[in-house]
Structure 1
Amino acid sequence: MLKKALKLLRTATLVPRKISYYDLRAFAKRVEAKPKTLIVYIEFEFEDIIKEYDILPQYQYQTDRYYELLEGIAPASYNTIICTGLLEHMSDPARLVKQCHSILAPGGKLYLSVSSVFAVHRGPEDYYHLTQYGTRHLFEQCAWQHLDIRGACGPFRTIGILLQRILLQAEVRFVFRPLIEALAWSITLLDGLVIRQYDGRTKTNEHLIDSMMPSNVQVIATK
């Protein structure tokens, strides 16, 4: 009994909501949910945003099952597709992107997010964490009218998210957990001090980037 109590203390959090949830909700507000919306996989509360939709089974594991599900959908069937937090768990991410492209109607939009600077999670099916550049390279294998690709948050917020993931996924001596949790939430405020960000140590306009250390990359792809 004592061992169970100590383990609970080593894994307990004071604030159960994830910091990254707020970035997902901000992304959700950009969704234009038109008639014929398909939710492939979703990580945020959406009932107040999307009223009419079809939704696939939400497989956290055995994610390759999505290939067969998407293969059975006729081309140009949907005007909107939402897929958050799944791409990094697919063994062939290019195949998933191509399938979404196929079932989108012309002018339709795919809303997708993928892990970038993030903890290993939902293992062992955690294969790829992508930068903005890697995401663009992946998407450019299909013919999109427009790609809006950006980092989900600033660098200090990412540090806060990673600190919180340590508490969520590791056993830490319980006397230090409140300190780490307080640091995780407070360090995000330092993003207000960041003026510009670059994709390397060369600080010129050619190397400006929206986020040099995003926890996730968010995509709005228009077919």
Structure 2
Amino acid sequence: MGGKFLEMDLADLIDTDDDETLKIRNLVMNEGLTSNQVLLKHPELLHRHRDVDRMYQAQQSRVGRGYRKDLEVHYLYGLPGVGKTHMVYNSVDDMDTIYRVSDYEHPFDEYSNEPVLLLDEFSGQMKFETFLQAIDIYPTRLSARYHNKRANWHVVWLVSNLSLKKLPWYSSSAVSKAQWNALCRRLTSYRRMELDRTLTDLELPVYSLAEVFAEDSDLAAHPSLCS
């Protein structure tokens, strides 16, 4: 039965009045359940999981069109096995609120509107432009195989074994100094976890305006482009 609705336009899906679709719409739109909650409580709807997710995405788009002015983006690095990921999970009351990415080939395929995004073992595997979109306060839709996903997280954790300067984007000809500074401006914190699990606050490795202007003559002629 799920195949019948697989290629339906979202508007048609919302307007369809068969019993299953009405049930999905009520659970998502009226009861406010997430995609995962619907499928856990109603396993008989598993064959409609894509429709459940699409309905939930539509609901989230309705209620969350504004920008995420409270978005936090934390970069945490340290030696392997020191406890970085463990610390992130300990920072929340419910581990199910974290969407953890470890497969960077299709990072957002399974995203289901979790409020916390964890980019684990991060070493710059994503396209730079996609990464900037993921940590932007403005409404963003990210590519996924089945259908695009709306970024509804309010906290982003970048957990890495590498310092920012050791990411491939730093000193890369593919990423300008102005673009690198744009990345740094979006970070709420930049910390290193020590062997005793204490955290050390670090200064962001931003380029000076002189370095930015020296690289790009257009920016030198229009300094406001760097603001």
TM-score norm. by structure 1 comes to 0.28
Larger of the two Rg values belongs to structure: 2
Higher relative contact order, structure no. (Cα contacts within 8 Å, ≥ 6 residues apart)? 1
TM-score norm. by structure 2 comes to 0.28
